[in-house]
Each structure stands twice: as C-alpha cells, then as structure tokens.
A and B are shown apart, each in its own frame.
Chain A
Amino acid sequence: MSEQSNSNGSGYIIECEDVNKWFGEFHVLKDINMKVKEREVVVVIGPSGSGKSTLIRCINRLEEHQEGKILVDGIELSNDLKNINAIRRETGMVFQSFNLFPHLTVMQNITLAQRYVRRRPRRDAEDMARQLLQRVGIPEQANKYPGQLSGGQQQRVAIARALAMQPKIMLFDEPTSALDPEMIKEVLDVMKELARSGMTMLVVTHEMGFAREVADRVIFMDSGRIVEIGTPEHFFENPSHERTKLFLSQIL
C-alpha cells in the first residue's frame, strides 16, 4: 500500500536514478539523475537532440529505458503493464504536434479516455470537459472538430484532454514549438495558470520567458546528459557550466 501513498515519504513525485537509454547503438540518455517535487514546475531546456524529449517520454513509458530506475508517484516503471497503466493514469501529456484525434469532436476528444479509462459516466465526463474548456478559454468550441480550430486552440484542447484524467503530473513536450507566434501566448497563459494552481509540471520548451517566469527549477541537458540544474535566477543570470553559457549566448 505504500506505493499508493504520495511520494513515499521522500517528497518527490518523479525520481530518476542512473537512467540510461539507447536508440539502437546511439546512447541517448546518459546517467540521468533527477527528482521533481510535488507541485513543482521544472523546465527542461537544451539544444535539439540533447535527449530532453526522450527523457520526459520515458517518464510515462512512451519510450522504454534500458538501465536505471524511474519512480513516478512511488511506482516503479517496469515492464509490468499494471504499473505502466497506473503511471499513465497519473500523468497527463501534451505534445508538440497536439495529437488530437481528428475524427472526434473536441468534446469526444476530452471525454473518450475519461469514459473508457476512468469509467466515468458520459454525463459526468461531459460536465468535466465543459469545465476544462471553460478553464482553457474555449468553451464555445466543444462540438467542432480539431481541424476547424487554430493551432493555439488545438493545443489548449490537448491540455484540457490531459487534465480531464485528473493527473498528478503534467508533461509538456515542446507545447508551443509548432504554433504561430500569435498563438503562443494563449497556450503559455493556460500553462501559467495551471502552474499557479499547483500542478506538478515537467516542461520541455524553448520559451525562455516562460521558464524564467514560472519555473521553480531549470534543467539544462546536452548530448544526453544533464549539464546543470538550478533555479531560473541562477541559470539565466549566472550559469556555472561552459556549455550552458554557450547555449544561452546563442539564444538570448
């Protein structure tokens, strides 16, 4: 039963210990050690190909790690399907390319998993969906298809869809990278609101402004390893590692 309790006394909801992963021969994650506390917002940044997306995809088993240990909410990720499903129920994920289901309406997108995973009655699921659409600011789009929405609206639907499962953790995999500049703000606003409400968030992004404003901690990755972990102030004002300095000098 201890597995069911929060953060098994350590206070951490995500724990990675010596995680290694290879794509074929390519060593994509190298000895990753990282912990995320409950209600904490952690932003992962780094150049492309640094393994930051792979890292968060390992956390809900969209990718399988070969070595090390990942604990989510005290449950260890293994090949045990029961564990995987339990962890996926606790983690919501938002993708760079939204990945909304194009053949379902916004309402159906948000209610599908509630009904068939959470076994919620249809009426409750729809009430929940309407609340969430209100929260992300597009209550009027419920009966449209994703293809009829703008990118920003689609991403907000994707956030609502993930939230509908009432996860303890939200994983964001470059949620604004595929958006037109005009639409980035509306998505970031939703994410900021979410952060303020106390959601545990692990965010891969290139939005430095967001990281600076919202993050509790910033993780910088390069070539599959964690180069630096720190508060945003420390990270942006006074980075320690040479690689971090180089990276920041290129993007700022």
Chain B
Amino acid sequence: MSESYHRPDETFYIAPKDAPPSRRPPALTIGPAGWLRKNLFSSVGNTLITVITVAVIAAFFYELITWSVAKAEWNVVNNTTRLMMVGLYPVDQIWRIELIAVLLVFLSGLGLGVWGGNARGFFITSLMIIIAALIIPIGAERIEAPPVRFLITPTDAIGPMLFVGDQGDTVRLAVEPIDDNAIANETAPFVGYIENSPGSSSSRALWNNAKAQVVAGSLDLTNYNLQLTVQLLDANGKVLEEQLSTPERRRVNFEFELPDDDWYYVQVLRDETGEAIYDTVDGVQLPIAPARSLPNTGYAWVRIDGVTTMSSQLTDVEQRTKKYGDVPAVQCPTATECRRLVLEENVRFEGARSFKAFLKTQLDPFLQEIIVSLIVGFAVMLTAYAIGNFAKQSRSPDSKKVVSRFTIIGWVVFFPLSWILLSGFEDPNSVHPFLRMPEVAQSLWGGLILTIVLTFVSLTVAFPIGILLALGRRSKLPIISIFCILFIEIVRGVPLITILFMAKFIVPYFAKSMSDTELLIRLLVGLTLFTAAYNAEIIRGGLQIIPKGQIEASQALGLNPFSTNLFIVLPQALRAVIPAMMSQSVSLFKDTTLVSIVGLFEFLGMIELIVNGQQIYRPYQREAYLFVGVIYFIISYIMSSLSRRLEESGAGTVRKMRKA
C-alpha cells in the first residue's frame, strides 16, 4: 500500500514518516576533481580557454625565467642595490632605516600573533621581510667576473690589453682554437663577455663575419695554422709568463698569480715567419714548433678569466688612478692592434648560463648581500609572533588585551616615529646623546624608501581629509558643500603630474614663504590633496549606500549627528569601500613614480638614473626594469592582500553581516 505512494506520477502523495538519510554527493562533483570539472573543463569552449590560457601563461613564464636564469646579467641590480633602495642616504646613517624595518617587522609579527595569523598572513609578512631586507643591504659584493673573450684571426691579434689587478688575484689565460666548422652554427656557444668595442674590428663583429663566411663556404675553419705567443706582462713591459700555441699543440692554458696591486696587460703575438721554434732545455735545442709552409690561417678565442672589467666613469677612473697610477704607455705592435682596454662598455655578456652558474654567479652574491637582513627579519618576526601568540593563549584575558593594545599603539606611533628617524634632528645636540641623529636632508632621500615614504605619508594624511571632504560634500550647509565640491572636482579634473608641477614651480611663486619649504614636503602636500579628493569620492560612495534607516535608528536613540557619523555611518561606509580605497592606494603607490619627473629620485627615477646615467649599466636596462616591476608587484600585492584581510576580519564584516 505505502509503496504506491512513492511513485512520482501519483497526483496525491504522503511522504513516509522518516525523512530518508542524507547521502554523499556524487564523487565527481566534489573535491579537487569536482572543482576542476566544474570550473576548468565544464564545456568544450571552457576547456579550450583553459588550455590556451595555461599555455600562454606557461610560455610567458618559461621565457621569462629561462632568460632571467641563463642570459640576464644581474650585476646592475646587485651592484646598485643601495642606490636603488635608499638613494643617497648616508651610509653611516642607514641603521636608522634598519631600525624602521625591524620595527615594522616586529609589529607585523605581533599582530599576527595576537590576532591570529593564517598562512597568507605569514606569506605577506615574509614578503615584507624580503622587501625590508632589500632596502637595507648589509654590504654589496661584486659578482665574480665572467671570462672575457677576444677573437684572434689571421689578421687580428690582441694588442696590449690593459687591466688592473690586486696582489694575489689569479689570472688565467687560455687559447681555444676554432678548428671545427660546426662551431659556426652554434647559436650560443659562449658564457661570458665577448669584446664588443665600437667599430668593425671588435671580436663580436669579426666572429659574425667569420660565421657568415663559413656558412657561405668561403672559409674553412679546419684549415688551422695559427702560431701564437700568449704573454702576460706587467706595467713596465716585463714578461711575467708566456706560452706558445702552435698548430700541433693548440690549446694553451695557464694561471698566474699577480704579485702586486698594479696595471698588467695581456698580449698575443702572431708568429708570421713560419720558421721552426726551438727551446733550449738542459743545453739541448728541442724543436717545439716545426717549420711551417702554410701562411697564418685559422681562428681562435683567447679567453681571460679573473680579470675585472673596468669602468670608464670619471669617478672610477679617478679612484683607479689613485690606487694603480696612470695608464702605462705601452708599445703597440701595430696601430690597429692597440685599441683594447678591458672596459665594461666594450664587452657584452653572451651565452647561456647553467642554473648552477646562475646560482653561483648571480643569485649567491645577491643573497650574501641580504642574507643577514633576512635572518634578522625572520628572527624578529618569529619572536614577535611568539610573544603575541603567548599573550593570546595565556589564561588571563588581560594579557591579550595589553599586547593587542600595545600593537595598535605601536602602529599609531610607527609612522611619525619613522619620519623622525628618517629625518633626524636639525640640532643633534639638543636631544639626549642616545638619540643623537644628525639631520639627513630630504634631498638625499631616494630610491624605494622614498617611494614608501611618499605613499604612506600621503595615504595616512589623505584618509581623514578625504572623510571630511566626503562628509562636507553631503553637508546641508551650502557654503561647506560648495567648497568641498569645488575642491574635489578641481583636483580630480587635473592630472597628477600637473599638481606636482604646481607644487614644484607655481606654489613657491605665489607664496614666497613656501619657496623655502623642502620640495619633498611640497610634493607630499600635492600627493595628499590629490589622494584626498579621490578618497572623498570613494567614501561618498560608501556613505550613499548606508540605508537611511540606520541614521534614523541612531537619531531615534538620541545619538547626535557627530556620534551617528562616528559610530554608525562611517564604520559601515568605510568598510564597504575598503576595496576601492585600497585600489586607490595601490594606484597612488604606483603614481609616486611621477615625482621623478619633478626632481625627486624615487625607486623608478633612481633606476632610470642608473641605467641611463651610467654607461656600464646601459646594456642592462632589461634586467633593471624587470627588477623594478617585480618589486612594485610584490609591494602592490602586499597592499591588496592586507586590504582583503581587512575586509574579512574584524567586527561586523560583510561576511558576518550577510550570514543570516
């Protein structure tokens, strides 16, 4: 009887007394497999999009990473880190920036501990530590010099090639004969520098020419008959070591330890006579190179290891002259062979590096530079986390309250304190000896630290101004609202760069008293007003979504307008606009790059100064700008992650409010 009630086509139906037990959903609809099916491969089109997108992304990152590892020359980042990060901030005062970084990391760790950190919180803090560690490089160490290669041809040898070396440096010279036509077809046979001095007779140009001839069939590299003398000489022309490379014993490889801090040079002489060469050993003349009938044919690389390339920067030249003396006047065998100094701008890094070589030559020096900061940073963070977590776990609720209050006060104090630490005191004697910090002129601030100062000062000051403007715009008093509307619309209607130019040129012209104000302060005011105007509009959007009933309820309870705004309207409005505010903040962070146009060298400006101003780094713009991009991305990511955390945590979040 009851069974007939279960038939779905029954017009009348009464369910059994007990509801059927809940079953698990079908296996393919839940878990990771279900997620994949639903989100990535739900239809043919979706599958196509997934595959294409993944392929494009993978190809992009493959190219980027292989280039970064195998080809890029990170010298520019490694050797100029301090400049990029702190600008011209005096080296002996960098401890102040270090202190700020430590405080920042400590407060973050404390917050994580007290308010409970998830994995992402730790990840974000770690990123912050890395940025902090970058900002305070302990000591830059130069990357070990890659080998330098010069090409020997039947008509070109290496004239005196000057370099400077210190006592104890080991220089290795090697002749690598090219007696195989296959080499000419290899695309990336080298790792290191190849001479690339301007003109048609640079090694790079000669090699390209030779390759073309091999391909055309007019040159046979197996026809090798070069006889060379490879010499290492000191500044006075005294031969320190020499070896012969003959068609029979082509490879030459020797090391020499330099005896002094001095100029040295390498010279390769071609023996064009074709006569036999003898060496006298124990009174017996031994032929070490038989007489040759063929003329000089063939190509060879001369490879020099352990020679640091020299820069032609004026300051570097001065320092070099001071330490090693003037460039020695050495005789050139012929005029064309006397063109070579081992100059940085005359060599170019080429070839594919192995991953191991990347670690050793590129990453390792960089890590060495920041490793101490990294360790200190993580140690401080973990300590703070432990303190915070201990307070959270402890039995008495007071200790949590104390630590969390301390953390909040810490953050409030942190920003002004950082400013004081950065600028120091005009008259250091006026304060306690312990706090004696000489003033560091704001014109010396630069690099990433300046970017961060610009961003956070204008953000924190613009926030309350933005609130006031937003409230003012909604004010019932027309004078206030008209003023606010005018201000907001004028500022929003003008490009930021115009405001910055105004801060730099026009404000001092109108207000003479402002002309003495530091440029940084004037630009900060400009950035702040700009941000405040945008924030005001964002906050106004938030105020508009607060239902009228909220205000009525508050009024009905007798709260005055000030309390209504403070306790009811603003908390809800501001929370609603966190994403928009944060995107405004991130875009401000990126917009600070504009100040480089009006004369402050923040991060990007500093990089531009380095790669455009210093000849030696000109070939490495790609590396420098990639580094800039990565750093900007990391910081923007930190900012937006913090905003997401802010959205999700705390009292009365959207999530909790909607959970009905």
Q: B23 near A: Cβ within 8 Å?
A: no
Q: B657 near A: Cβ within 8 Å?
A: yes
Interface majority SS (helix, strand, loop, mixed), chain B: helix
Q: B174 near A: Cβ within 8 Å?
A: no
Say yes or no: A103 contacts B652, CB within 8 Å.
yes
Q: A138 near B: Cβ within 8 Å?
A: no
Q: A102 near B: Cβ within 8 Å?
A: yes
Q: Which of A27-35, A89-97, A181-189 interfaces with chain B?
A: A89-97
Distance A190 CA – B555 CA, assembled complex (angstroms)? 23
Q: Which of A43-51, A109-117, A192-200 interfaces with chain B?
A: A109-117
Contact residues of A between 75 and 90, Cβ < 8 Å to B: 85, 88-89
Distance A158 CA – B553 CA, assembled complex (angstroms)? 9
Q: Which of B421-429, B556-564, B597-605 interfaces with chain A?
A: B556-564
Q: A105 near B: Cβ within 8 Å?
A: yes
Known: A105-B651, A112-B567, A148-B660. A93 touches B556 (CB 8 A): yes
Known: A88-B556, A112-B567. A103 touches B549 (CB 8 A): no
Say yes or no: B657 contacts A147, CB within 8 Å.
yes
Q: B127 near A: Cβ within 8 Å?
A: no
**A residues less than 8 Å from B659 (CB atoms):** 145, 147-148
Distance A102 CA – B553 CA, assembled complex (angstroms)? 12
Say yes or no: A145 contacts B557, CB within 8 Å.
no
Of B549, B559, B571, B652, the residue contacting A117 (CB under 8 A) is: B559
B584 CB to nearest chain A CB (Å):
22
A77 CB to nearest chain B CB (Å):
13
B40 CB to nearest chain A CB (Å):
33
**A residues less than 8 Å from B550 (CB atoms):** 99, 101
**A residues less than 8 Å from B568 (CB atoms):** 101
Known: A91-B556, A112-B567, A117-B558. A104 touches B652 (CB 8 A): yes
Say yes or no: B660 contacts A147, CB within 8 Å.
yes
**B residues less than 8 Å from A99 (CB atoms):** 547, 549-550, 552-553
Q: B399 near A: Cβ within 8 Å?
A: no
Say yes or no: B556 contacts A85, CB within 8 Å.
no
Distance A102 CA – B656 CA, assembled complex (angstroms)? 9
Of B563, B572, B658, the residue contacting A116 (CB under 8 A) is: B563
Say yes or no: B651 contacts A116, CB within 8 Å.
no
Say yes or no: B656 contacts A145, CB within 8 Å.
yes
Total inter-chain residue pairs, C-beta < 8 Å: 83
Say yes or no: B560 contacts A62, CB within 8 Å.
no
B174 CB to nearest chain A CB (Å):
74
B59 CB to nearest chain A CB (Å):
46
Distance A38 CA – B521 CA, assembled complex (angstroms)? 64
Contact residues of A between 48 and 85, Cβ < 8 Å to B: 60-62, 85
Say yes or no: A95 contacts B549, CB within 8 Å.
yes
Q: A162 near B: Cβ within 8 Å?
A: yes
Of A95, A113, A158, the residue contacting B558 (CB under 8 A) is: A113
Say yes or no: B555 contacts A103, CB within 8 Å.
no
Q: B575 near A: Cβ within 8 Å?
A: yes
Interface size on B, residues (CB 8 A): 25
**B residues less than 8 Å from A102 (CB atoms):** 572, 652, 657
Say yes or no: A85 contacts B658, CB within 8 Å.
no
B458 CB to nearest chain A CB (Å):
28
Known: A99-B553, A102-B652, A103-B572. A147 touches B658 (CB 8 A): yes
Say yes or no: B567 contacts A116, CB within 8 Å.
yes
Distance A109 CA – B294 CA, assembled complex (angstroms)? 103
Q: A161 near B: Cβ within 8 Å?
A: yes
**B residues less than 8 Å from A191 (CB atoms):** none
Closest to A105 in B: B651
Say yes or no: A92 contacts B651, CB within 8 Å.
no
Say yes or no: B556 contacts A92, CB within 8 Å.
yes
Say yes or no: B558 contacts A162, CB within 8 Å.
no
B598 CB to nearest chain A CB (Å):
42
Q: A159 near B: Cβ within 8 Å?
A: no
Distance A147 CA – B660 CA, assembled complex (angstroms)? 5
Distance A89 CA – B560 CA, assembled complex (angstroms)? 11
Say yes or no: B651 contacts A85, CB within 8 Å.
no
**B residues less than 8 Å from A85 (CB atoms):** 558, 560
A108 CB to nearest chain B CB (Å):
8
Distance A101 CA – B546 CA, assembled complex (angstroms)? 10
Contact residues of B between 551 and 596, Cβ < 8 Å to A: 552-560, 563, 567-568, 571-572, 575
Q: Which of A88, A89, A103 gathers the greatest number of chain B CB atoms within 10 Å? A: A103
**A residues less than 8 Å from B651 (CB atoms):** 103-105, 145
Distance A104 CA – B568 CA, assembled complex (angstroms)? 9
**A residues less than 8 Å from B553 (CB atoms):** 93, 95, 99-101, 158
Residues 519-560 of chain B: 1 if any A CB is under 8 Å from the residue's CB, otherwise 0? Answer: 000000000000000000000000000010110111111111
**B residues less than 8 Å from A161 (CB atoms):** 557
Known: A103-B652, A116-B567, A145-B657. A97 touches B549 (CB 8 A): yes
Distance A105 CA – B556 CA, assembled complex (angstroms)? 19
Say yes or no: A62 contacts B558, CB within 8 Å.
no
Distance A141 CA – B660 CA, assembled complex (angstroms)? 13
Say yes or no: B556 contacts A148, CB within 8 Å.
no
**B residues less than 8 Å from A150 (CB atoms):** 660
Contact residues of B between 614 and 660, Cβ < 8 Å to A: 651-652, 656-660
Say yes or no: B657 contacts A103, CB within 8 Å.
yes
Residues 137-170 of chain A: 1 if any B CB is under 8 Å from the residue's CB, otherwise 0? Answer: 0000000011111100000001001100100000
Which 8 A-B residue pairs are closest in the complex by CB-CB distance? A103-B652, A99-B553, A113-B557, A99-B549, A93-B556, A117-B558, A88-B558, A102-B657
Show 30 A/B contacts (Cβ-Cβ < 8 Å), sorted by A: A61-B555, A62-B552, A88-B556, A88-B558, A89-B558, A92-B556, A93-B556, A99-B549, A99-B550, A99-B552, A101-B568, A101-B572, A102-B657, A103-B572, A103-B652, A104-B651, A105-B652, A112-B557, A112-B567, A113-B554, A113-B557, A116-B559, A116-B567, A117-B563, A146-B657, A148-B656, A148-B659, A148-B660, A149-B660, A158-B553
Instruction: Beyond A101-B572, A112-B557, list 8 extra A-B contacts (CB 8 Å).
Output: A95-B553, A101-B652, A103-B657, A113-B554, A145-B656, A148-B656, A150-B660, A158-B553
Binding site for B on A (CB under 8 A): 60-62, 85, 88-89, 91-93, 95, 97, 99-105, 112-113, 116-117, 145-150, 158, 161-162, 165
